[in-house]
Structure 1
Amino acid sequence: MESRTALNVLRKIDDGLSVIERQLLGWSIIIMAVNTVANVIARLGFSSSLFFSEELNQFLIILVTFVGISEAARMGRHIRMSAFSDMLGPRASKVLMIIVSVGTATLLFTLAYYSIDYIAGLIKTNRLTPSLRIPMYFTVLVVPFGLTVTGIQFVLAALTNILKPGVHLSYRVEDIYEDDTLDTHL
């Protein structure tokens, strides 16, 4: 019972993170679009590009990538090779999903650790970005956050598979086998 309570607390925290992530993703994509259109207008209309445009879009792509992986994992939209697990029975498929979730979480937490080490090295260099002149480490601060939150998603998926019946891609999404028969009612 205590594990279910802990899982519910984690889910509530994750729900809050999901709202923040979706806002970050939405606004980043809007800013990228506006920035790109403004740069094209400046280039075509004034024969001069915005000096910061490419750099800003690079930062936003990093943000969208590393925040987006967490949202993808939360919604069970991560890339997976299901041919092997589809051949297994439900019990073996569930065990495989737990192993894959724990392994993926471990890898993501390890990468988050190394990304923090990388950022610490960037801080020591005092390097600035060429156009906007902001500290280089600032541009990649989202990387350990995204990796850690995505790792948490896979821990939640493993716990959900342990505590609930069925095979779950994430704590929100159950893997349901759909029969691929042809629809003859055309």
Structure 2
Amino acid sequence: MQDGKTVPFGFLGKIDAGVGRIEVLILGSGIILMAINTIANVFGRYVFNQSIYFSEELNEFLIVIVTFMGLGYATRKGIHIRMSAIYDALPTKVRKAFMIVIAATTSVMMAILAWYALEYVQKVASRGRITPALQLPLYLTYVWVVVGLALTSFQYALTALRNLNFAEEEIYVSYLEIDSYEDPETAAAIQRYEENANEENKS
């Protein structure tokens, strides 16, 4: 349920929610590890005069993870950059149809990119290349590109499906996020602040 209405594609919605939790866990862990790794390396360099030999390589690995997992997360939250000057001037039904076409086309493009990325990962894996410092298989770095692009393709496919119901006036930029210039997370934070302020005034 959402705002008193039954959300269509409920099974896909559960998958989307599960994927979202995994994305948040991976992104949060990646950013925290980068911070810890960087701080430890700086501390080691200036206090013990000895850098962590794998620090730079680990950060590069984590940046790839955060970047491509973040791509799917941004799509899921509907916070990706859009050029919408002409789109915004169109009638609601036309904009909804455009959103379906845009989301479906982008989903296909992301799927194609994920396929080519997978082929590249397979080539790297077959050559047995390893990273210089950590001595890990190099393909483990690039496999996150495939995962991120595939998840982004899935999110855009959900967006296209979500907008197929023309009985609804709302236009969705992701499975659950309505097309709006207001950041949903900022709006939720403001709403919580106003609710807390009202409760304090009542007390």
TM value normalised by structure 1: 0.89
Match of 1:52 among 51, 54, 58: 54
CA distance in 2, matches of 1:142, 1:68: 11
Q: Which residue of 2 aligns with 1:127?
A: 129
Q: Which residue of 1 aligns with 2:106?
A: 104
Pairwise CA distance, 1:32: 0.3
Superposition pairs for residues 2-151 of structure 1, below 5 Å?
A: 7-151=9-153
Q: Secondary structure at the match of 2:135?
A: coil
Cα distance change on mapping 1:6 and 1:116 into 2, 3 Å: farther
Pairwise CA distance, 1:176: 3.5
CA distance in 2, matches of 1:91, 1:58: 44
- Aligned partner of 1:153: which letter? Q
CA distance in 2, matches of 1:6, 1:121: 40
CA distance in 2, matches of 1:101, 1:59: 29
- Aligned partner of 2:74: which letter? A
CA distance in 2, matches of 1:176, 1:43: 47
Pairwise CA distance, 1:122: 0.2
- Aligned partner of 1:112: which letter? A
Number of aligned positions between the proteins? 175
CA distance in 1, matches of 2:144, 2:9: 25
CA distance in 2, matches of 1:157, 1:176: 14
Pairwise CA distance, 1:125: 1.2
Structure 2: stretches of 5+ with no match in the other structure: 1-5, 183-203
Whether contact under 8 Å (2:8, 2:162) holds in the other structure is no
Identity among equivalent pairs (%): 42
CA distance in 1, matches of 2:180, 2:34: 36
Structure 1's consecutive aligned runs of 4 or more residues displaced over 6 angstroms after TM superposition are none
CA distance in 1, matches of 2:87, 2:30: 36
CA distance in 2, matches of 1:44, 1:88: 59
Pairwise CA distance, 1:6: 7.9
Q: Secondary structure at the match of 1:25?
A: helix
Q: Which residue of 1 aligns with 2:171?
A: 167
Pairwise CA distance, 1:146: 1.1
Cα distance change on mapping 1:177 and 1:36 into 2, 3 Å: closer
Aligned Cα RMSD in Å?
A: 1.7
